[in-house]
Amino acid sequence: MTIIDKIRHFTETRPRLAQAVFTAGVILTGLLLFLVLIATRSDIKRSRATLPPPLVSVVPADVGPRTVLITGEGTVKPLREINLVPQVSGKIVHMSPAMADGGSFQKGETLLRIDPTDYELTVKSAEARVKDLESALLLTIEEAEVALEEWKLSGGNGEEPPPLVAKKPQLEAARANLEAGKADLEKAKLNLDRTTLRTPFEGRIIQKNVDIGQFVALGQQLGSMYSVEAAEIAVPLPHEDLEWFYVPGFTPDGIGESAVTIYANIAGRDLTWPGRVMRAEGVLDERTRMVNVVVRVERPYDSVPPLAMGFFVTVEIEGVEVPDALWLPRSAVHEEDIAWIVDGESRIRFRPVGIVRYDGDRVLVTGIEAGELVATSPIKIVTDGIKVNYQIAGRSAGETKKAAGPAGRQEAPASERDSGEASKARSE
């Protein structure tokens, strides 16, 4: 009988004893392995977990004189806009090529001519009547002189003759008729001159309503036109903004004339024009609480493309200059007008600043020294003196360290320092 047969015979005859021996062997083996692990374990040093300082973006304070810029928008409108209306009636016999929608013309140029024939005849008739009245006045004067001679010959005894004898009423009537005739002649000449419609200024046609050969009546609108020697833009601004620049007739004098720049995108090009503040409309808009400041641009059509009427443009007015100020993003100024300054030890210091003006997403402030680092990125939990890692906006970390020098040296996070010290202890 082999050994295997003996073991099989033993397990078959005594099964409980075999199970007990097997279980005891497994327990002893596990206990030995546990004792070996305990005997060979190494000591583990405990360390407190620390969070690295938060990383913030900073900008160096570029302090200096800053000009307050007031920005607004408005629509370009002509300085003068009139309707073309005839003062006499008749048929149009001549029309200038400039008499078209968008046509340009010079001052004094003839746009339309109404048939002058009837008015020329009226002038001739008035001239003939004036000559007739002049003759009648001369005849009356001669008659009055004859009457005076007859009065003297009849023994007037040196007394003044009666008015009727001296023909004074007739003389006055003849002179009055002559003056009336001359007035009719002047009116006839004026109507003849009015058959030619000339432009009162240099400008352009907005709309043409008639054409050659058409009969026009007195007072009929023939078209509309505007001048091009200047354009005006009404810019609605909050009345608080008017303290930063001079508005003639609205703000106290002494600031001086404010320079204005007009921006517009025309024909795919970004163009600018210089302008000046002319006045403010004297009424405050009850709905918007704004004042319309009128800006004038001289010779808007001298450039190509021109600053055409009706364009919506942006207007930038240069206001007063604020010394020792700088522009910061709005995110850099916190509650109670506090800015976060990163000092030479990479710690945040709370700094109260003076708010001069908000302008969109930026703010003009005072109270910061030149070269100081201003934190612009938010931190969830921040206290005065908290240590941070910082990076100058627009630069990499390496460039920041190199540019900042010793004062801007960044320390390694506390976790890295602790791990380094632990490695050094283990090696020793």
| CA 184 remoteness from chain centre | 56
Q: Cα separations (Å) of 269 from 300, 344, 426?
A: 16, 47, 70
What band does 166 get if pLDDT is binned at 50, 70 and 90? confident
Give residue 6's pLDDT. 59
Give residue 409's pLDDT. 36
Find tokens 């908290």 and name the residue.
386
Better-predicted residue by pLDDT, 155 or 102: 102
- The pairing of strands 55-60 and 389-392 is parallel
pTM: 0.66
Q: Cα separations (Å) of 130 from 31, 122, 186?
A: 149, 12, 11
| CA 80 remoteness from chain centre | 22
CATH of domain 69-78+229-322: 2.40.30.170
Coil, strand or helix: which one is 91? strand
Give residue 294's pLDDT. 93
- Average pLDDT for 322-349: 91
Strand stretches in 129-244, DSSP E:
196-198, 203-208, 215-216, 223-227, 230-238
Does the domain formed by 55-61+335-427 have CATH 2.40.420.20?
Answer: yes
Better-predicted residue by pLDDT, 400 or 361: 361
Q: State residue 391 phi and psi, 5-degree precision.
A: -140, 130
Distance between CA atoms of residues 274 and 264, nearest Å: 12
Better-predicted residue by pLDDT, 269 or 155: 269
Q: What is the mean pLDDT of the chain?
A: 83
| CA 102 remoteness from chain centre | 27
Q: Which residues are paired to 57 by β-bridges?
A: 391
pLDDT tens for 366-411 read 999 999 999 998 888 888 999 998 888 766 444 444 444 333 333 3
For the cut 80, the answer to whether the pLDDT of residue 121 exceeds it is: yes
Give residue 420's pLDDT. 39
Q: How many CB atoms lie within 10 A of CB 247?
A: 20
